[in-house]
């Protein structure tokens, strides 16, 4: 949830609570004050009536507001006030009244004077105040909303710019992280911490990359020695079968190890951005060239490659990476295709795909692009070819889809800029 | 002809292995393990072939190339490096290196590259290669058997030349595959494939010479030799 939304929601929730309490309190309080005021007025009126009675010995009663009754001495009581309702003929309803009853002795006669004043109905008061309070609170809410929005653009503006910068930031691009100064201490502290952290991470990342590159290089020399020593052994004539088998296995493992190391190094180099000479390439041409280079191998396995290009797919890539991608996906298709089958390459304007026959679908299609994941038990497979394919595809934002239909594995590639 | 080869390589075991191999193949191999040491050698003496490692303790081998070429225009430089060809090959060749071999390489491949380099740089010498009654004219890539021209496909010719240059030496399937098809054997399953091609070449040679020169060395690969 956005901070602003959070603030507004909290404000609304507590606002409603405050509103309810305020409503009740204000209604009760104003009721109380109002009645006190009315009582004073009624008392004043009663006194005026008493004066009239004193002068005239008589008072014309006005029902129901001003009534004077002569009473006996024993009936005289205290002055009381109360709420009452009186039936009104005109509207055929009960109307609330405030009533004051007082006793006066005038000219040796005793009178009860009752004065009444009509009250507003409680419903009316409630709705009036509720309307008033909600209008005021609503106004405040709208103002706060506008205010926070304004504050948001002022306070969070640079912060948001920095967040965008962080989103775009990557170790691979050579741009350093340059966060903008916000002028707000808390944010600037955060910026500093992030900047320091990114420096440290960048350094670690560069070092670990350098380490893997160095390690990969350094491994090749000992591998060269093992390979060459094995080759020397091949020329020995008095070896028994067991020794021959062992040497052969050492030799083949060296080859594989060297292949894996080269693959890892390649992955690191792509990360490093060492292949960034972009040019526009025709995939049809690249595929055709690649397949023609593999003629002998295809013939030997009685495989044929069918390239169909409804329209050429042009991609902007480093030529070496494009070739590597094609080399690896064709090698993968050839290595996994049963003999005497057709490998299909389909190229259209915005995608290309390669399919080879197979018995069953790949069990874990998401994993086959992972380093060292293998589904076949073929000892020659290094488990790195498709990782290279994936890395190159990712490098150019290319999507890869796998499907298995009619006993055919199909990898479809959808380049970004097509 | 001058058969001296200067090897500049800092790993002493690899240096020894290569030197032993070259010495036993009829070359005279002189070893250096640093740029400085190498300079002392090629400063005074002409070497038709210099094998140069790139990552040396006192500098990058690449810097040596222009230096060597400025003194000895005819010296051929073959870079032997663990660095992958994808980026460095271009650099190396631009700076005047003649060839580039990525570690780990096959010794037989190194030998073939040295020979090819010598043939290129010194046309007059050894452009015709003999084995028994087979004669290979490397300049126009033609093959004569018992004085008559025989047609070989490009791959067959490459295989035959590789075999004859490495005669009496066991060649593995992997080395043959990499040499002729230029593919890394790890990325391509190849065992039957090589067999088919060797068999074809073997039959062709047998048909024209009456001899089976290419032998299968059980478990290892193939070898070209006279009985």
Q: What is the mean pLDDT of each run of 10 residues along chain A (418 residues)?
A: 78 81 83 87 90 84 84 84 84 85 86 85 74 82 82 80 84 72 86 90 83 79 89 81 88 85 81 80 91 82 88 88 89 86 91 90 79 66 81 89 90 82
Are residues A208 and A286 both part of a single domain?
no
Domain count, chain A: 3
Is residue A154 included in any domain, yes or no?
no
Q: What average pLDDT does the segment B4-19 reach? A: 93
Q: CA-to-CA distance for A267 and A270, rounded, in angstroms?
A: 5
Please tell me the distance in Å from B124's CA to the nearest CA on chain A. 32
Are residues A9 and A144 both part of a single domain?
yes
Domain residues for A311? 275-414
- Domain B128-224 architecture: Orthogonal Bundle (1.10)
Q: CA-to-CA distance for A371 and A374, rounded, in angstroms?
A: 9
Q: Within chain B, which residue ranges are assigned CATH 3.40.50.2300? A: 4-121
Residues from chain A contacting residue B186 (CB–CB below 8 Å): 255-256, 258-260, 380, 382
CB proximity list for A380: less than 8 A, separation 6 or greater:
A256, A335, B186, B189
pLDDT category at B126 given cuts 50, 70, 90 is low
Strand order in the sheet with B134-137: B128-131, B134-137, B142-145, B148-150
Are residues A66 and A201 both part of a single domain?
no
Pick B155's closest partner by Cβ from A231, A241, A296.
A296
Chain A residue whose CA is closest to B224: A235
CB within 8 Å: A269 and B84: yes
The pLDDT value given to residue B49: 93
Are residues A357 and A340 both part of a single domain?
yes
Q: Does B225 touch chain A (CB under 8 A)?
A: no
The helix (H) or strand (E) run that includes residue A409 is strand A408-414
The pLDDT value given to residue A127: 80
Q: Contact at 8 Å (CB) between B27 and B4?
A: yes
Tell me whether 0.90 is exceeded by the ipTM: no
Q: Within chain B, which residue ranges are assigned CATH 1.10.10.10? A: 128-224
Q: Does A297 touch chain B (CB under 8 A)?
A: yes
Pick A251's closest partner by Cβ from B18, B102, B172.
B172
Are residues A289 and A268 both part of a single domain?
no
**Which pTM was predicted?**
0.65
pLDDT category at B187 given cuts 50, 70, 90 is low
The pLDDT value given to residue A94: 83
Q: Provide the token pair at A319.
A: 């030529």
Residues from chain B contacting residue A264 (CB–CB below 8 Å): none
Q: Does A248 touch chain B (CB under 8 A)?
A: yes
pLDDT category at B125 given cuts 50, 70, 90 is low
Please tell me the distance in Å from B108's CA to the nearest CA on chain A. 9
Is residue A217 included in any domain, yes or no?
yes
Chain A residue whose CA is closest to B24: A232
Q: CA-to-CA distance for A366 and A18, rounded, in angstroms?
A: 55
Are residues A188 and A257 both part of a single domain?
yes
Residues 65-84 of A with CB under 8 A from B: none
CB within 8 Å: B187 and A229: no
Digit-coded pLDDT (tens) for B84-118 = 656 666 666 777 888 888 888 889 999 999 999 98
pLDDT category at B8 given cuts 50, 70, 90 is very high
Give the pairing type, strands B76-81 and B49-52: parallel
Are residues A228 and A138 both part of a single domain?
no
Residues from chain B contacting residue A248 (CB–CB below 8 Å): 219-220
Q: What is the CATH number of the domain that holds A288?
A: 3.30.565.10
Q: Would the pLDDT of B18 be above 90?
A: yes
Residues 302-361 of A with CB under 8 A from B: 320, 327-328, 331, 334-335
Are residues A86 and A98 both part of a single domain?
yes
Pick A274's closest partner by Cβ from B82, B87, B193.
B87
Are residues A242 and A281 both part of a single domain?
no
Digit-coded pLDDT (tens) for B29-74 = 999 999 999 999 988 889 999 999 988 888 888 888 888 888 888 8
Is residue A155 included in any domain, yes or no?
no
Please tell me the distance in Å from B190's CA to the nearest CA on chain A. 8
Q: What is the CATH number of the domain that holds A217?
A: 1.10.287
Measured at the alpha carbon of residue A136, what is the angle toward residues A132 and A142, in degrees to the nearest 5? 145
Residues from chain B contacting residue A254 (CB–CB below 8 Å): 104
The pLDDT value given to residue B50: 94
Are residues A257 and A281 both part of a single domain?
no
Digit-coded pLDDT (tens) for B132-179 = 889 898 888 889 888 889 999 888 999 999 999 998 888 988 888 888
CB proximity list for A184: less than 8 A, separation 6 or greater:
A155, A159
Mention the CATH class of domain B4-121.
Answer: alpha beta
Q: What DSSP state is assigned to residue A338?
A: P
Are residues A292 and A270 both part of a single domain?
no
Residues from chain B contacting residue A224 (CB–CB below 8 Å): 14, 82, 103-105
Are residues A248 and A280 both part of a single domain?
no
Residues from chain A contacting residue B21 (CB–CB below 8 Å): 228, 232
């Amino acid at each position: 949830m956005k901070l602003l939304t959070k603030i507004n929601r909290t404000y609304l929730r507590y606002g409603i609570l405050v509103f309810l309490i305020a409503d009740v309190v204000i209604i009760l309080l104003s009721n109380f004050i109002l009645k006190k005021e009315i009582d004073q007025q009624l008392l004043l009126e009663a006194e005026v009536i008493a004066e009239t009675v004193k002068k005239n010995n008589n008072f014309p009663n006005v029902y129901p507001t001003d009534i004077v009754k002569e009473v006996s001495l024993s009936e005289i009581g205290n002055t009381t006030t109360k709420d009452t309702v009186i039936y009104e003929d005109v509207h055929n309803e009960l109307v609330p009244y405030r009533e004051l009853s007082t006793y006066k002795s005038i000219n040796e006669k005793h009178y009860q004077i009752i004065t009444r004043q009509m009250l507003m109905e409680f419903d009316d008061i409630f709705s009036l105040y509720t309307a008033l309070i909600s209008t005021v609170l609503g106004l405040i809410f709208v103002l706060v909303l506008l205010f926070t929005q304004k504050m948001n653009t002022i306070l969070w503006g640079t912060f948001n710019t920095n967040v965008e910068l962080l989103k775009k930031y990557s170790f691979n691009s050579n741009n350093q992280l340059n966060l903008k100064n916000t002028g707000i201490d808390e944010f600037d502290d955060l910026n500093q911490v992030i900047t320091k952290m990114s420096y440290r991470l960048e350094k670690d990342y560069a070092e670990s990359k350098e380490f893997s590159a160095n390690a990969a290089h350094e491994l090749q020399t000992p591998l060269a020695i093992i390979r060459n020593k094995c080759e020397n052994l091949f020329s020995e004539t008095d070896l028994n079968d067991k020794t021959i088998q062992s040497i052969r296995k050492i030799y083949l493992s060296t080859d594989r190890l060297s292949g894996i190391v080269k693959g890892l190094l390649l992955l690191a180099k792509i990360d490093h951005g060492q292949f960034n000479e972009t040019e526009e390439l025709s995939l049809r041409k690249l595929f055709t060239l690649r397949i023609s280079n593999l003629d002998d191998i295809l013939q030997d396995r009685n495989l044929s490659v069918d390239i169909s290009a409804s329209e050429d797919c042009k991609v902007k890539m480093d030529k070496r990476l494009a070739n590597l991608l094609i080399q690896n996906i064709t090698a993968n298709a050839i290595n996994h295709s049963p003999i005497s089958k057709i490998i299909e390459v389909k190229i259209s304007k915005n995608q290309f795909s390669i399919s080879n026959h197979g018995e069953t679908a790949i069990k874990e299609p998401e994993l086959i692009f992972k380093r060292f994941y293998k589904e076949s038990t073929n000892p020659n497979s290094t488990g790195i070819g498709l990782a290279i394919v994936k890395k190159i595809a990712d490098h150019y934002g290319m999507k890869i889809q796998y499907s298995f239909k009619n006993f055919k594995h199909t990898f479809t590639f959808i380049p970004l800029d097509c | 002809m001058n058969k001296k080869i200067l090897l500049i390589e800092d790993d002493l075991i690899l240096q020894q292995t290569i030197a032993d191999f070259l010495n036993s193949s009829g070359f005279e191999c002189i070893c250096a393990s640093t740029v400085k040491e190498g300079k002392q050698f090629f400063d005074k003496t002409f070497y038709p072939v210099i094998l140069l490692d790139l990552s040396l303790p006192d500098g990058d081998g690449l810097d040596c190339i222009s230096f060597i070429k400025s003194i000895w225009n005819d010296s051929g430089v073959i870079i032997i490096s663990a660095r992958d060809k994808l980026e460095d090959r271009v650099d190396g060749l631009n700076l005047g290196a003649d060839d580039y071999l990525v570690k780990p390489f096959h010794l037989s491949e190194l030998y073939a590259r040295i020979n090819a380099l010598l043939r290129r740089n010194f046309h007059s010498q050894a452009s015709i290669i003999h084995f028994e009654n087979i004669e290979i004219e490397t300049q126009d890539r033609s093959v004569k058997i018992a004085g008559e021209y025989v047609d070989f496909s490009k791959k067959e010719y490459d295989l035959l030349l590789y075999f004859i240059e490495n005669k009496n030496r066991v060649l593995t399937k992997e080395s043959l595959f990499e040499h002729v098809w230029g593919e890394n054997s790890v990325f391509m399953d190849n065992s039957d494939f090589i067999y088919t091609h060797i068999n074809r070449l073997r039959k062709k040679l047998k048909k024209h010479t009456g001899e089976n020169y290419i032998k299968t060395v059980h478990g290892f690969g193939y070898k070209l030799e006279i009985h």
